[in-house]
């Protein structure tokens, strides 16, 4: 722990909180706390948590949004923590001591999650240095080709920064060709003949021409790529006709997208885990009597729910608490599931005492989708009063649609899968044998947003250098959306 910027009082509290966190089984990288004012906090938050990023106008836009929210009392950032080794955490200097204690406990739990959750196991643990390196490279290209060209290309790249495969680091997607593993190439069948007659019956020039024809047919039959490629950015890096600086900038965008991907995959778990531990440490070890009201006020604000929005802090902390209680009391397994008495289930307690062990196991191996899929129960939904809502066309207002457990679970999983974004794959890099790019939208009962799709296709065309198409479903029919010269065209795909 490094506390060079903390006051002596906060440095002592940081040391104590580190010890309490470790005594509860949390395992984290060294943590460096830095005290900043609200302007610096907003600057760092606008940069995605890093002190240095490449030059682009979107950071300024984010800063203005955050600053206005703070000035008008609409939002306030209490802390920022970076997945790095060592972890860096920023504390807001205007916070009261009780808030700083809460935040530091929260930070240590985040750092434990970063270090131990499997989704983060392949992330770059020196990303603070890497983002500074990215900034230096982009600055060099701005000096070489000019700000306007670099920023224009960055604009296009950032519209497709999510078109990566978040599971690629754990799954071998591309076919690995081993020695002797490829199919034998097609060869021309010669007519049987005596050796001395072979040059006349099977003329070498004819055999060579026929072999060339077979090779060309085989080349055309091979898909490009062989299987639909989910990592669209990698495909563009490898095959788009880009200049060296453009290829490098696209690789920077892709590297940062893979760094941030696990945070999107574990938002509910990560915030729930941090809230679970800051709550436990504060109420059991760290809270002074005179701080109780302020702590309760700020903690309740963190986990409060608001109409129409899912609070990941609330859902995460309550689900971790539920898991701990269930495994402490043995409320799982065949016998418990088959019990049809609600009264008996409410009083069920086998004294198993495996709750602490189970939540650490969950923290290590799950992401948000598997977390909800595996541990959300009907009893939990009933206690938390979860429901789905939808627009009523008659009243022109949102109303409760269903309180059924399966509907709630299905809706949550649908929102969390791929962060609620469409699945897009590269299907053909030589569409219609014209060098055009064909994408495929894996339809999941939700159509593409037309304005988003159009802007994305235009930017992809700029990067690919030739027309770009996407196969999708529109109005329940297979549709091809094409972009050529910036103009959009829709056509029905006839089977």
- How confident is the model over 7-33, as pLDDT tens digits? 999 999 999 999 999 999 999 999 999
Give the span between the Cα atoms of 5 and 96, in whole angstroms: 16
Contact 426, 439 (CB under 8 A): yes
> Among 145-159, 438-452, 460-474, whose mean pLDDT is lowest?
438-452
Q: Taking the CB of residue 124, how many other CB atoms lie within 10 A of it?
A: 16
Say which residue, 420 or 275, is predicted with more confidence: 275
**Could you give the 3-state DSSP secondary structure of residue 148?**
helix
Burial class of residue 5 in the structure, from the number of CB atoms within 10 Å of its CB (0-12 exposed, 13-18 middle, 19+ buried):
middle
Least confident segment among 55-59, 413-417, 423-427, 438-442: 413-417
What's the confidence (pLDDT) of residue 495?
Answer: 64
Asked whether 82 and 128 are in contact (CB, 8 A), the reply is: yes
- For 272, the token pair is 């729930």
Say what the alpha-carbon torsion angle 291, 297, 301, 303 is, to the nearest 10 degrees.
70
The pLDDT of residue 176 is above 60: no
pLDDT at 419: 81
Average pLDDT over residues 265-284: 97
Residue 134 confidence (pLDDT): 97
Q: How far is CA 97 from the centre of its chain?
A: 33
Please tell me the distance from the alpha carbon of residue 139 to that of residue 144, in angstroms, as a whole number. 9
Other Cβ atoms closer than 10 A to 358 = 18
Q: What is the pLDDT of residue 3?
A: 47
pLDDT at 103 over 60: yes
Report, as an integer, the average pLDDT of 165-170: 87
Per-residue confidence at 180, pLDDT binned at 50, 70, 90?
Answer: very low
**In which band, very low, low, confident or very high, does the pLDDT at 109 lie, cut at 50, 70 and 90?**
very high
pLDDT range class, residue 396, cuts 50, 70, 90: confident
What is the tens place of the pLDDT at every residue in 352-391? Answer: 999 999 999 999 999 999 999 999 999 999 999 888 888 8
Q: What does the pLDDT read at residue 183?
A: 52
Average pLDDT over residues 236-240: 95
Q: Are 142 and 55 in contact (CB under 8 A)?
A: yes
Mean pLDDT of 409-433: 91
Side-by-side strand order, sheet with 79-82: 31-36, 87-92, 79-82
Instruction: Write down the pLDDT at residue 179.
Output: 44
Domain boundaries, the chain: 8-117+266-298, 128-173+230-264, 307-417
Residue 184 has pLDDT above 70, yes or no: no
Q: By percentage, how much of the chain surpasses pLDDT 90?
A: 70
Compute the average pLDDT of residues 90-101: 94
CB neighbours of 238 closer than 8 A, spacing ≥ 6?
none
Alpha helices in 282-341 (DSSP H): 292-303, 312-329, 334-338
pLDDT per residue as tens digits for the range 197-230: 777 677 788 778 877 777 766 655 556 788 899 9
Task: Kindly report which listed range (244-248, 277-281, 341-345) carries the lowest average pLDDT score.
Answer: 341-345
Phi/psi at 78 (nearest 5 deg)?
-85, -35
Q: What is the pTM of this model?
A: 0.88
Q: Which two tokens stand for residue 152?
A: 């224009």
Cβ neighbours, 10 Å, residue 348: 16
Q: The tokens of 118 are what? A: 């499997």
pLDDT for the residue 181: 44
* pLDDT score at 326: 96
| 284-311 pLDDT tens trace | 999 999 999 999 999 998 899 877 778 9
| Residue 372 confidence (pLDDT) | 97
Select the more confidently predicted residue: 344 or 189: 344
Q: Measure the CA angle with vertex 125, ends 123 and 131; round to 5°.
A: 90
Q: What percent of the chain has pLDDT over 70?
A: 93
Per DSSP, the three-state class of 473 is strand
pLDDT mean over 148-163 = 96
């Amino acid at each position: 722990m490094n506390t060079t910027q903390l006051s002596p009082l906060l440095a002592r509290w940081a040391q104590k909180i580190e010890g309490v966190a470790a005594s509860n089984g949390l395992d984290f990288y060294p943590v460096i706390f830095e005290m900043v004012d609200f302007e610096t906090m907003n600057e760092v938050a606008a940069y995605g948590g890093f002190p240095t990023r490449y030059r682009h106008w979107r950071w300024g836009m984010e800063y203005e949004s955050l600053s206005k929210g703070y000035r008008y009392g609409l939002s306030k950032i209490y802390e920022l923590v970076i997945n790095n080794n060592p972890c860096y955490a920023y504390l807001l200097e205007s916070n009261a001591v009780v808030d700083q204690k809460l935040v530091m406990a929260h930070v240590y739990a985040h750092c434990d999650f970063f270090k131990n959750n499997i989704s983060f196991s392949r992330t770059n643990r020196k990303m603070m240095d890497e983002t500074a390196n990215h900034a230096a490279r982009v600055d060099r290209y701005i000096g070489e080709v000019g700000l306007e060209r670099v920023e224009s290309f960055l604009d296009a790249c950032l519209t497709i920064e999510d078109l990566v495969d978040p599971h690629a680091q754990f799954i071998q997607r591309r076919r690995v060709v081993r020695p002797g593993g490829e199919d034998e190439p097609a060869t021309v069948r010669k007519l049987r003949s005596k050796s001395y007659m072979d040059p006349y019956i099977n003329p070498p020039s004819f055999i060579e021409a026929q072999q060339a024809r077979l090779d060309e047919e085989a080349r055309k039959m091979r898909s490009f790529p062989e299987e639909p490629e989910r990592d669209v950015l990698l495909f563009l890096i490898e095959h788009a006709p880009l200049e060296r600086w453009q290829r490098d900038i696209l690789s920077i965008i892709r590297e940062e997208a893979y760094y941030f991907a696990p945070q999107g995959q574990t938002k509910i778990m990560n915030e729930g885990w941090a809230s679970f531990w800051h709550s436990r440490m504060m109420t059991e070890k760290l809270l002074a009597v005179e701080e109780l009201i302020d702590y309760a006020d700020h903690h309740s604000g963190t986990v409060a729910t608001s109409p129409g929005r899912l609070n990941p802090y609330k859902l995460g902390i309550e689900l971790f608490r539920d898991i701990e209680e269930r495994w402490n009391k043995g409320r799982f397994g065949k016998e418990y599931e088959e019990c049809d008495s609600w009264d008996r289930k409410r009083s069920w307690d086998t004294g198993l005492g495996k709750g602490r062990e189970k939540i650490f196991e969950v923290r290590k191996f799950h992401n948000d989708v598997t977390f909800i899929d595996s541990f959300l129960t009907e009893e939990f939904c009933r206690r938390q009063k979860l429901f789905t809502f939808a627009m009523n066309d008659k009243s022109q207002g949102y109303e409760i649609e269903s309180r059924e457990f399966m509907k709630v679970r299905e809706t949550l999983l649908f929102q969390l899968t791929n962060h609620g974004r469409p699945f897009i794959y590269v299907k053909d890099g030589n569409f219609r044998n014209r060098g055009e790019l064909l994408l495929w939208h894996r339809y999941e009962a939700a159509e593409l947003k037309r304005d988003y799709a159009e802007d994305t296709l235009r930017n992809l065309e700029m990067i690919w250098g030739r027309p770009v198409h996407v196969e999708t479903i529109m109005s329940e029919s297979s549709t091809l959306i094409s972009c050529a010269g910036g103009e959009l065209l829709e056509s029905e795909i006839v089977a």
